[in-house]
Amino acid sequence: MKNEILHIKSIREHHKILGYKNLRHPLISIMRFEDFPPFNIPQKIKFTLGFYTITLKKNYDCKSLYGQTVYDFDEGLMGFTAPDQISGLDENFKKPSSGWLLLIHPDFVRGYPLAQKIKASDYFQYAVNEALILSEDEERSIDELFKNIEKEYHLPIDTFSQDILILQIDLLLTLCNRFYQRQFVTRKVINSDLLTTFEIALNEYFNNETQLHTGLPTVTYFADRLNLSSKYLSDLLKNLTGHTTQQHIHKKLIEKAKEKLSATTLTISEIAYELGFEHSQSFSKLFKSKTNQSPIEFRQLFN
C-alpha cells in the first residue's frame, strides 16, 4: 500500500529483501556498497529497521541539506540510524558507488559498555541532513576501521570474535564523536547563522504571542522551524553557546517573566498563562529553580 511502513526487524530479513546472501552472524553484518546486488525502487517506500546502522558513503553523487543549506557531497559522508526510526527511499534513489554499511542488532552489544555509549551518542538521533562530512584524512581513518571490522567479521567465529568486534566498533564511534565536534567548529559560520535564526524564532514566539495558542515553546517546535532534528539543534547550540535548546527556552521564559513581574500588575497566575503555562505552580517552580527566588519575592524588589 502507498503509505504503508515496512518493518524490517532482523538483519537476516534485511539481507533477504536486499538479495544480499553473505550473512555470517544474525546480529551483525558489514557490507560494501560496491558489492550490493542491483535493485530499483519502483515507488517511494517508508521503512523501519530493528537495528542500528552506520554508513560511510564515498563518491556519493547527490545533493543534500545541511541545516538550510544545500551541499554537493563529494567528501565522505557518514550517517547513523537507531532502531525503529522511520526512513524512506524514493524512485530516484541511487546507491553510493562505494562505501560501507554496518548493521548492529542491540542484542549484539547488550551487556557491554558499548550499548550505553551508542545510546548516549546523539548522532544516532540526527536527521539525514545532519550527516557527518569527513575530510580526506578522516575518511581514510574511518575506512581502515571498516576494513578491520570486515576482516574480523569474516574470520571463523571463536570466543574472542565478539569482544574484538565490540572494541573496533567502540573505536569507530569514538572517532565519529571527535569528527562531529570538528564539524561543529569548521562549519561555524553556517552554525552561527542557524543560531541567529533560532534566536529570531525564539523572540518571535513570544512577540507574536504564539504561546497563547500553542502553550510553552518546545525544542521540537524550533528544530522543525530550522529543519533540524531536536538532538542536533541542542548539540549545535551547546557547542556554540554552552547551553542546550531547552536551556535557551528557559532563559527566555525567565527573561519574559521578569519583564512582566517588574513592569505590570498582572497576577502570578495571569503571567503564567501569558507565558504558556497550564498551571501557575509549574511557572513558580521553574522561576525559583532558575533565580533562587519565587515570583512574588522577585516582584517585591520593585515595590
pLDDT at 63 over 90: no
Instruction: For residue 88, give the 3-state DSSP assignment.
Output: strand
Quote the pLDDT of residue 301: 84
- Helices then strands (H, E): number in the chain? 13, 10
Burial state string for 134-157 with b = 16 or more CB within 10 A and e = fewer than 16 = beeebbeebbebbebbeebbeeee
Residue 143 carries which side chain, given as an amino acid letter?
D
Dist. CA 139–CA 172, nearest whole Å: 12
Cα torsion 221, 222, 226, 229 to 10°: value is -70
* Torsion sign (Cα): 14, 28, 231, 184: negative
- Domain boundaries 5-186, corresponding CATH code: 2.60.120.280
Provide mean pLDDT across the span 135-161: 93
Q: Which CATH architecture has domain 189-300?
A: Orthogonal Bundle (1.10)
| Contact assessment for residue 33 and residue 95, using Cβ atoms and an 8 Å cutoff | yes
Dist. CA 282–CA 164, nearest whole Å: 50
Structure confidence by residue, pLDDT tens digits, 207-245: 887 777 788 889 999 988 888 888 888 888 888 788 899
Grid cell digits, residue 94: 541511487
| Contact assessment for residue 275 and residue 283, using Cβ atoms and an 8 Å cutoff | yes
Q: How far is CA 269 from CA 265, 280, 297, in A?
A: 11, 5, 15
pLDDT at 203 over 70: yes
Q: How far is CA 183 from CA 133, 143, 188, in A?
A: 7, 18, 8
Strand ranges in 154-259 using DSSP code E only, listed in sequence order: none
Say which residue, 184 or 179, is predicted with more confidence: 179
φ, ψ dihedrals at 87, nearest 5°: -120, 170
Quote the pLDDT of residue 91: 67
Grid cell digits, residue 239: 557547542
pLDDT at 155 over 90: yes
Enumerate the domain spans of the chain. Answer: 5-186, 189-300
Domains 5-186 and 189-300 share a fold: no
- Angle CA(173)–CA(179)–CA(183) in degrees, nearest 5? 140
Provide mean pLDDT across the span 70-85: 70
Dist. CA 74–CA 264, nearest whole Å: 56
* Torsion sign (Cα): 131, 52, 95, 99: positive
pLDDT at 69 over 70: no
